């Protein structure tokens, strides 16, 4: 009844115990990997790709002429989000910490790179938009950038807080949103955007198709043997990576 067969090329973002050679996954949570797409690329892109997909196409559906600020623009999700935003016709500002990461963000399509370690990103965004502010901020950093991100928004802009890299955002009074321009605040997560099988198939199909056709690029920063999973976590925690980290069984 599942529609799947032995040796089918499949992927999932919802398998428990995936630090293993084999995983047990409900058939309804699998997606097909096209024959033309390398399985390594499929593994690298699915989670972060679908995250970028729902952010840019659903949470705040970007369109031509919109302006967006993407924090951590050189990260795995950031690079994909920038590329999708550019596909949608948006103007994209991206924050980075180093010249190396600036180069990666620029390669992904960022229109204006902002070094948050050297300059006040809020002031820079206001300068770049002639004081108006951006339509949306996609913020995966959390506590350290939240207040500044809110101050980057135009009236009735969208604050999309989708990560906690620097820690959880403290409680926010609704009156803050009012006083800053009747802002919208959302804290989304991928699994609510792929809960329906049709949404899962749509997002995975778009991402796999774009990668297979070369319309978006996936940067695999490094790979580790499965037995070196601890080293992979150390690299991630130390912010040594710029792109996807893979464990290879």
The CATH architecture annotation of domain 63-187 reads 3-Layer(aba) Sandwich (3.40)
Helices and strands in the chain: count of H runs, count of E runs: 9, 10
What is the average per-residue pLDDT within 171-185? 97
pLDDT tens-digit readout, 58-113: 999 999 999 999 999 998 899 999 999 999 999 999 999 999 999 999 999 999 99
Contact (CB, 8 A) for 77 and 48: yes
* Cβ-proximal residues to 190 (8 Å cutoff; 6+ apart), any chain: 13, 47, 50, 51, 54
- Domain extents in the chain: 10-47+196-248, 63-187
- Dihedral (CA of 69, 76, 200, 214) sign: positive
Taking the C-alpha atoms of residue 18 and residue 39, their distance in angstroms, rounded to an integer, is: 15
Taking the C-alpha atoms of residue 17 and residue 247, their distance in angstroms, rounded to an integer, is: 13
Name which CATH class applies to 10-47+196-248: alpha beta
What is the 8-class DSSP label of residue 131?
T
* β-sheet bridge partners, residue 203: none
- At 183 the pLDDT is 98
Q: Which segment of 3-12, 47-56, 132-141 scores lowest on mean pLDDT?
A: 3-12
- At 249 the pLDDT is 87
Task: Provide the pLDDT confidence category of residue 3 given band limits of 50, 70 and 90.
Answer: confident
Percentage, residues of the chain above pLDDT 90 = 88
Q: Is 147 left (phi over 0), alpha (psi -120 to 50) or beta?
A: alpha
Residue among 149, 144, 105, 152 at smallest CA distance from 127: 152
């Amino acid at each position: 009844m599942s529609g799947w067969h032995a040796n089918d090329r499949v992927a999932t973002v919802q398998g428990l115990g995936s630090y293993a050679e084999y995983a047990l996954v409900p058939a309804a949570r699998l997606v097909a990997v096209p024959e033309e797409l390398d399985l390594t690329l499929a593994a690298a892109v699915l989670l972060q790709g679908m995250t970028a997909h729902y952010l840019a196409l659903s949470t705040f559906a970007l369109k031509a002429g919109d302006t967006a600020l993407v924090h951590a623009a050189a990260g795995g999700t950031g690079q994909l989000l920038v590329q999708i935003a550019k596909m949608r016709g948006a103007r994209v500002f991206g924050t980075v910490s180093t010249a190396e990461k600036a180069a990666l963000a620029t390669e992904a399509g960022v229109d204006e790179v902002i070094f948050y370690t050297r300059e006040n990103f809020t002031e820079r965004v206001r300068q770049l938009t002639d004081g108006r502010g951006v339509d949306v901020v996609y913020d995966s950093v959390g506590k350290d950038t939240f207040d500044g991100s809110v101050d980057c928004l135009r009236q009735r802009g969208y604050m999309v807080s989708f990560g906690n890299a620097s820690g959880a955002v403290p409680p926010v009074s609704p009156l803050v949103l009012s006083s800053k321009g009747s802002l919208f605040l959302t804290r989304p997560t991928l699994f609510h955007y792929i809960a329906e099988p049709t949404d899962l198939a749509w997002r995975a199909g778009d991402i796999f198709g774009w990668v297979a056709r070369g319309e978006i690029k996936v940067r695999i920063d490094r790979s580790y043997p499965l037995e070196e999973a601890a080293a992979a976590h150390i690299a991630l925690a130390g912010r040594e990576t710029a792109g996807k980290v893979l464990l290879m069984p």
